[in-house]
């Protein structure tokens, strides 16, 4: 029997492992700092907008039209316009996107065709927003003759958000266990009945989460709507999808680059409203998602 202190423990630190541990600590610290630095711009931007914009953020600002060459008044038409654009684009993109995802996840088999569809989705998602704008001008404004209108702008936004809706819906559908479908088929249900009564009810909230996220993207875009339907200045509210409209994003662009003598707080307050809207939608989607994950039954 030897005393434990006479033979070194095989797990004792050697200079090599100590150096390794030191290096690991340095690396971890550097990575942590890099990551923490990413929080700074988010906090800085929010802080800057709140400090400079909040004083101007009155009910009058939210519910009045711009006046005096956009140097006074509020942003009500821009808020309403953004709601129009987001709503109509969602009405177009959500059904097509969800059905496309159903096809890809429930009907299509792995083949060269689904591979091409996948490539198309990836590339559609990667098309620059200004190219979407050119497409919108060429296809909807001119070719289909919708003119510069809410309809043209919404269609352009819809094409832009489509690939992401497809991808997120597909993920939600794929999260429904295969055994659910098999159980349903065994009972004699057809493919569509299975989707309608088993797959969709079990994934609808996940689908909604993805769709909600696209609301925030559509609300924030400027380039695709600039030439297809968003007006610089339109003091009245749109009455149909064939009217032009103002939009928050476009209004912020106009205020900060095109209009002279704008009171300093106005663009800040506009940016704050836009960012607040987008963040609220995003956060609700994140909260919904974590809630769903916590109560998932399988």
Partner 1 sequence: MTPPPVPGRPPVARGRSVVSRAVERLIEVLIRACGFSAIFFVFAILVFVVGSGAEFIVHRLSIPQFLFSTEWVPTSLGEKRYGTLALIIGTVSVTSLAMAIAVPFGLGAAVFVSEFTTGRRKEILKVVIELLAAIPSVVWGFIGLVLINPLIIAVFHAPIGLNVLNGGIILGLMSVPIIVSIGEDALKAVPDSYREASLAMGASRWQTVTKVLIPAARNGLLAAVLLGVARAIGETIAVLMATGHAVQIPHSPLDSVRTLTATIAAELGESARGSDHYQALFAIGVLLFLLTFAVNLTADLMVRGRKGNQ
55-84: contacts with partner 1 (CB under 8 A): none
Residue 53 touches partner 1, criterion: CB under 8 A: no
Return the number of the residue (106 or 243) whose C-beta is nearest partner 1: 106
Q: Is 223 in the site for partner 1 (CB under 8 A)?
A: yes
Positive or negative torsion for Cα 37, 38, 41, 44: negative
Q: Which is nearer to partner 1, 224 or 238 (CB)?
A: 224
Cβ 210 to partner 1 shortest distance, Å: 13
**Residues of this chain, 82-101, that bind partner 1 according to CB under 8 A:** 95-97, 99-100
Q: Considering only residues 109-168, where is the footprint of partner 1 by CB under 8 A?
A: 116-135, 137-139, 142-143, 159, 162-163, 166
Whole-number Å distance between alpha carbons of 23 and 170: 42
Minimum CB distance to partner 1 smaller for 3 or for 36: 36
Tell me the two tokens of residue 222: 């400027």
Q: Does residue number 259 form part of the binding site for partner 1 (CB under 8 A)? A: no
Overall residue count recorded for the chain in this entry = 298
Cβ-Cβ contacts under 8 Å for 200 (sequence gap 6 or more):
207
Site string for partner 1, 173-192 (x = CB under 8 A): ---------------x-xxx
Give whichever of 205 and 282 is closer to partner 1, judged by the CB atom: 282
Task: Return d(Cα 36, Cα 26) in angstroms, integer.
Answer: 15
* 232-251 residues near partner 1, rule: CB under 8 A: 249-250
HSE, side-chain direction, 13 A CA sphere, residue 111: 5
Tell me how far apart the alpha carbons of residues 46 and 28 are, in angstroms, rounded to a whole number: 28
Q: Is residue 20 near partner 1 by the rule CB under 8 A?
A: yes
Closest CA to 230 of 71, 67, 68, 86: 86
The DSSP code for 261 is: T
- Can you tell me which of 199, 252, 266, 269 binds partner 1, judged by CB under 8 A? 252
Among 63, 107, 197, 291, binds partner 1 (CB under 8 A): 107
Q: Phi and psi for 168 in degrees, rounded to 5?
A: -70, -35
Instruction: Check binding of 226 to partner 1 (CB under 8 A).
Output: yes
* Residue 188 in tokens: 């004699």
């Amino acid at each position: 029997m030897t005393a434990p202190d006479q033979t070194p423990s095989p797990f004792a630190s050697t200079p090599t492992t100590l150096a390794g541990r030191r290096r690991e600590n340095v690396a971890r610290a550097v990575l942590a700092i890099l990551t923490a630095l990413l929080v700074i711009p988010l906090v800085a931007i929010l802080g800057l907008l709140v400090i400079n914009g909040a004083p101007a953020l009155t009910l009058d600002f939210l519910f009045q039209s711009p006046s005096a060459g956009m140097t006074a008044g509020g942003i009500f038409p821009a808020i309403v316009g953004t709601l129009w654009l987001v709503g109509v684009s969602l009405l177009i993109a959500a059904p097509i996107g969800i059905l496309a995802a159903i096809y890809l996840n429930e009907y299509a088999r792995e083949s060269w065709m689904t591979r091409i569809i996948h490539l198309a989705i990836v590339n559609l998602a990667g098309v620059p927003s200004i190219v979407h704008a050119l497409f919108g001008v060429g296809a909807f404004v001119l070719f289909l003759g919708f003119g510069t209108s809410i309809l043209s702008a919404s269609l352009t936004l819809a094409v832009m958000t489509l690939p992401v809706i497809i991808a997120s819906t597909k993920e939600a559908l794929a999260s429904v266990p295969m055994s659910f479908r098999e159980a349903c088929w065994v009972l004699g249900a057809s493919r569509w009945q299975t989707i309608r009564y088993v797959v969709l009810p079990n994934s609808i909230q996940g689908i909604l989460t993805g769709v909600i996220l696209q609301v925030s993207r559509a609300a924030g875009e400027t380039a695709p709507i600039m030439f297809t339907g968003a007006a610089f200045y339109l003091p009245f509210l749109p009455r149909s999808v064939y009217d032009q409209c103002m939009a928050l994003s476009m209004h912020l662009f106009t205020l900060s680059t095109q209009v002279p003598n704008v009171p300093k707080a106005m663009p800040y307050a506009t940016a704050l409203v836009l960012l607040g809207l987008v963040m609220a939608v995003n956060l609700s989607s994140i909260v919904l998602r974590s809630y769903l994950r916590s109560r998932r039954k399988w």
